[in-house]
Structures are given as C-alpha cells and as structure tokens.
Amino acid sequence: AQKVTQAQTEISVVEKEDVTLDCVYETRDTTYYLFWYKQPPSGELVFLIRRNSFDEQNEISGRYSWNFQKSTSSFNFTITASQVVDSAVYFCALSGGGNNRKLIWGLGTSLAVNP
C-alpha cells in the first residue's frame, strides 16, 4: 500500500529563518511520482514541484529547494529565508506509475512565519 507521512504537524518560525518540511513515503511501485503542494488560507492547492522516481536530482527554485533520497524514501522541502507570505499548509503527495492517477496525501504541515 502507498503511504505518505509528514511527521511535523505545525511549524512556527520567525521571518528570514530557514525551515525544512519533512516527507517520508512508502510504495512498492518501481516508478512513482512525488509532489509538493501549498495551500494558503484561501484553500486552493498550488502546485510547487513534481519529482519522478527515476530522477534523484535535487532541485532549487529561488528560495525553495527539494532533497529527494530514494535510499531513505524521503522528499524534503526547504524554504530559505522564509517570508510571511510563505505561511500556509504544505502537502506532500505520491502517485503510482501505472494507470491509476490518484494522489495519496500526507496530512500536511502548517507553517507559520511570524514577522
């Protein structure tokens, strides 16, 4: 069975601090896809990144970076120099490589960035 675990329920930081959100996944598929989404208070899920299981390159996009490690089944997300606008709930999700497109979600990490 597939499973995504986000152990951190809530994180509170002061602006300009770096923060890392953890995501651990379980799957028996050899091909799978990992995602991070952001959900601000408005409720809409905003896509941040997609990573394929066969591509372990880490990625940096502005203040955001992602560390994908198959050996530990982890796909962690780091925000550098956090800003108040980063306050949101962040979800990690997993989908399999077959015909089933459903996303399996973690319970989310609520990030509060305080001025």
- Of 35 and 82, nearer to other proteins (C-beta) is 35
Comparing CB distances to other proteins, the nearer of 11 and 104 is 104
> Considering the complex, what minimum distance in angstroms separates the CB of residue 17 from other proteins?
27
Where does this chain bind other proteins (CB under 8 A)?
33, 35, 37, 42-47, 50, 52, 91, 93, 95, 97, 99-108
Closest CB to other proteins among residues 40, 114:
40
CB of 95 to other proteins, least distance (A): 8
Kindly tell me the number of DSSP H helices and DSSP E strands found in the chain.
0, 12
Closest separation in Å from C-beta 5 to other proteins? 12
Spatial distance between the Cα atoms of 47 and 58, rounded to a whole number of angstroms: 17
Picking from 99, 70, 83, the residue whose alpha carbon sits closest to that of residue 38 is 83
What's the closest the beta carbon of residue 113 comes to other proteins, in angstroms? 22
Give the CB-side neighbour count of residue 49, counting CA atoms within 13 A: 22
From 91, 76, 68, select the one nearest 19 (Cα to Cα): 76
Hunting for tokens 């675990």 — which residue is that?
5
2 or 80, CB closer to other proteins?
Answer: 2
